[in-house]
Structure 1
Amino acid sequence: MNIEYLDYFCKVAIAGSISKAAKESHISQSALSQQILKLEEILGTKLLERSNKGVELTDKGIIAFKYADNIIRTYNAMLKELKLADENERNIKIEACWSIATYSLPCVMYEIKNQFGNYSYELNPNELDLIEQNVLNNICDIGVIYNKPKSLNLSYYKIGKDKIVLVAPKNYEIEDEIDFEELVKHPFILLNDKLHVIDSINEKLNIIGLKIEDLNILYNSDSAESVKSSVLNGFGIGFLPYTSIKKELYNEQLKEINIRDYSIEYDMYLIYNNNIKGNEVLYNFIEYFKKIAKKSLC
């Protein structure tokens, strides 16, 4: 199978439009359509539903996209590593949950760069499950996630803790400590960022005879930055990772609201392949990462 078939399929799936993907790929729309048809013929199934509004993935198209995206990323990682090998340079690829990559690891990376200055580094945010998959498939060298990995083929090492906290604008009228049921009294921006915050909130609401629909939810978002911006602008209150709002709490732009008998805490883990000892360079890097991370998290 031509790798380009999968590449073009992923571009169309992401763009939601054959014409848009064709324009971005600098090929004709008809040529791109032929590539997709050839892929569907090879796989023996329809991958896209076409309409005047664009294209949508079929149920089997969703499955194909998941694996095709992984194949393309693995292929590109191989090409990049081959190039780096030619240049006698080591590139360390790190993926981490969004708030960890954005707020916790920059200080660690500064210390590591001082120790391993001859290496180049990539630090990218990603979803928890995808990070595990990418470490297993060697798309990235290590990952940093909340909670222990699911796969038995991954080793892990605890480097720190984070928690989800309820925050409000500094001058917002709310007590510094409240009971959980008082949440229904306030406009709420809900974070849904794969940390199962909604599940935890819903479980607590069920205990006190309420449900998630009883909250005055303005909107929900998988972006912590979007929730933080809304809270800062006084639109309501919201739950956010502590690492993402430390600065705003210190500068008194936001205030933390304690909830009696309720908390959400997560351990942060470095994860890597079990067979890491076969790669001396990466093994030494990881051992240093373990040593420095606990005292260098931002």
Structure 2
Amino acid sequence: MNLQYLKAFFVTVKVNSISKAAKILHLTQPGLSMQIQSLEKELQVNLLKRSNKGVELTEAGKIVFDYANTILSLQENIERDLENLKTEKKQLLIGSCKALGEYALPCSIYVFKQDNKDLDINLEISNTDEVVENLLDRTVNIGLINDKVNNKELKVEKITSDKLLLVTSLPVVKDKISIDEITKLPLIFREKGSGTRRNILKTLKKHNITYEDLNIVYLLNSMEAIKTSVISGKGISFIPELSIKRELRDKTLKVIEIEGLDIVTNFYLAYRKDHDLTPHEVEFINFIKSPNRGFC
């Protein structure tokens, strides 16, 4: 399969426009169309339905598009790793959920870097589902997530736990509430794909409270944005304790105790089973797992 033609097809689908894709790939529109047609001829299937509204995937196109993402990622990773080999550059590619990546992990990476000054460390922060996707498409080699995933391609092990605290800056809220009273609070929630969100909903479900029962003010895809919103009085939220230690100490935020409800979130380390860990990746994993050194 011609990878150049596959990339032409992939980019066209991503931007939903042959003209936009041609500009991105520095091709003429006829040249781009010819590459996609050549790919269709090679695979003996029609991949796209073309219209004035853009392009639409055929059933065969959907299959090829899913594989194209992985294949093109692999190609980029091969080129990157070979280039690093030429320059003798050592890289540590980490993906992290936002609860760890926005707070605890940067300090940990700084400490680890002091003993590994020749190591280039790249941290990609996203939600748990996206970290898993990045692991599977080989964009990162080590993932830190806050929801245990069952995927036969990954090795997953628990590294630490943290409390999820219901916090507010509003003076009118009671210090202690019943479980049922949660449904009346103006809550700020994480987006779909967040391990924190899943953990909260899983725990509330045990008490017959669903997402639809909650009074969600709005969704945010950043724990830092949620914390800022809560501090400014725009709502109330469940936030990992490690993310708000300073705010609790300074009394910028206060905890609302919920009778009979404690939510503990577990954090996990994940990597692909078929990936041969390099010595510095093994060293980082042992560093993160160490209770005395892992998280600042």
TM-score, length basis structure 1 = 0.79
The equivalent of 2:25 in structure 1 is 25
1:38-49 counterparts in 2 under 5 A?
Answer: 38-45=38-45, 47-48=47-48
Identity of aligned residues (%): 34
Q: Distance in 2 between matches of 1:284 and 1:113?
A: 11
Greater mean deviation of Cα atoms: 36-45 or 265-274: 36-45
RMSD, aligned CA = 3.4
Would you tell me which structure has more helix in proportion to its own residues?
Answer: 1
1:73-222 counterparts in 2 under 5 A?
Answer: 73-129=73-129, 131-132=131-132, 134-135=134-135, 138-151=138-151, 154-168=154-168, 170-192=169-191, 193-195=193-195, 197=197, 200-201=200-201, 204=204, 207-208=207-208, 211-222=210-221
Q: Is the contact made by 1:157 and 1:290 (CA closer than 8 Å) also made in structure 2?
A: no
Distance 1:30 1:112, change over 3 A: same
Q: Is the contact made by 1:97 and 1:125 (CA closer than 8 Å) also made in structure 2?
A: yes
Distance 1:196 1:146, change over 3 A: closer
Q: CA deviation at 1:142?
A: 1.8
The equivalent of 1:272 in structure 2 is 271
Q: Is the contact made by 1:143 and 1:271 (CA closer than 8 Å) also made in structure 2?
A: yes
Q: Is the contact made by 1:181 and 1:205 (CA closer than 8 Å) also made in structure 2?
A: no
- Structure 1: runs of 5+ lacking an equivalent: none
Aligned length: 295
- Structure 2: runs of 5+ lacking an equivalent: none
Q: Distance in 1 between matches of 2:13 and 2:164?
A: 34
Q: Is the contact made by 1:277 and 1:283 (CA closer than 8 Å) also made in structure 2?
A: no
Amino acid of the residue matched to residue 27 of structure 2?
Answer: I
The equivalent of 1:2 in structure 2 is 2
Distance 1:33 1:205, change over 3 A: same
Deviation readout 1:101-153 (Å, 9 max, x if unpaired): 22221111111111111111111124435544654665433222224452455
Greater mean deviation of Cα atoms: 140-149 or 50-59: 50-59
Q: Is the contact made by 2:146 and 2:196 (CA closer than 8 Å) also made in structure 1?
A: no
TM-score, length basis structure 2 = 0.80
Deviation readout 1:168-199 (Å, 9 max, x if unpaired): 2x234211221122123232222234316257
Deviation readout 1:45-102 (Å, 9 max, x if unpaired): 5555555444455666555433322222221111111111111121111112222222
